[in-house]
Amino acid sequence: MKKRQLGTSGLEVSTLGFGCMGLSFGYGPATEKGAAIKLLHAAVERGVTFFDTAEAYGPFDNEKLLGEAFAPYRDKVVIATKFGFKDGKPSLGTDSRPERIREVTEAALKRLRTDRIDLLYQHRVDGNIPMEDVAGTVKDLIAEGKVKYFGLSEASVDAIRKAHAVQPVAALQSEYSLWWREPEEEIIPVLEELGIGFVPFSPLGKGFLTGAINENTSFDKTDFRNTVPRFSEENRKANQGLVEKLGHIAADKGATAAQIALAWLLAQKPYIVPIPGTTKLHRLEENLGGADITLSAADLDTIKASLDEIEVFGHRYSADAQKMINR
């Protein structure tokens, strides 16, 4: 597995990371702990060094899982986690008070069984707390050696600039994929300007771009995709055209749709590091194969032309979740 630099921060990670949320939270019942640890170890053995978690995933369960899994590998991996919700629960709203950031950091260090957090993100911008105070608190934690790098998630251009002026932002994490390209308009240009890395989550469209989901798919009652407008039965049917186009392009390259979706992201900028998640070893290996695919300028032009012909239906978040985006 090759490596990439997240912007100009100096933080080097594997070309593809691993989004760990789905092992504990969000996509139905949690994966059995032993199986989850085995999968995380398999990722490390295959060259993945960058793992993403958050206090909100569970809450707390995902950090505990990583703490146990990576105890033998701590110096070989880069662990990113997040603060920003009341009691670690998104449903309760944001909470980035400086004292809360410190509380979360101390608790995360214990759950992760480590003496430092490699990359600490604000999970969502808190409209009640000045960004300067948030960035200043993380700056202090970095000075104390408890945190190494600072990141933001789903933040606006204004929030990114305010934070970066106080403490350099190493990475922005936001959704970006073949069916959510909004970051290209304003976010990517400012990341380029400021030397900030980009970590796209849901690079496979929460599974939709793999081709494994259609209008007949039934999600577990605890799967958050049940609340996502883009995943309504009607919109899943309407969005099949994109998956079909992607499948044709993949077939021509002797690859899978997922691999082309990841290769496309990697081809956009050298500081982009997607973090696909999975609970299955064969999917992990498939995803990692996407890093070995090189798309030519002609390939990228073909994909762009295909995308330009297709309208994507449905919002990517529920109305309540949308209120916490890009503040």
Chain centroid to CA 260: 18
For the chain, the straight-line distance linking the first and the last C-alpha, in angstroms and rounded, comes to 35
Contact indicator for 4, 273 with CB cutoff of 8 Å? yes
Please count the residues of the chain: 327
Phi/psi zone of residue 214: left (φ > 0), alpha (ψ -120 to 50 degrees), beta?
A: beta
Burial class (CB in 10 A: 0-12, 13-18, 19+), 144: exposed
In the residue annotation, 27 being an active-site residue is answered as no
Distance between CA 220 and CA 70 in Å, rounded? 29
Residue 182 gets which letter from DSSP?
G
DSSP secondary structure, 251-275, as one string: HHHTS-HHHHHHHHHHHH-TTB---
Amino acid identity, position 211: G
Q: What does the block give as tokens for 31?
A: 């994966």
Amino acid found at 110: K
Asked whether 28 and 189 are in contact (CB, 8 A), the reply is: no
Burial of 309 from C-beta contacts in 10 A (0-12 / 13-18 / 19+): exposed
CB neighbour list of residue 217: distance below 8 Å, 6 or more residues apart: 236
Of the candidates 27, 57, 121, 176, the residue annotated as catalytic is: 57
Catalytically active residues are: 57
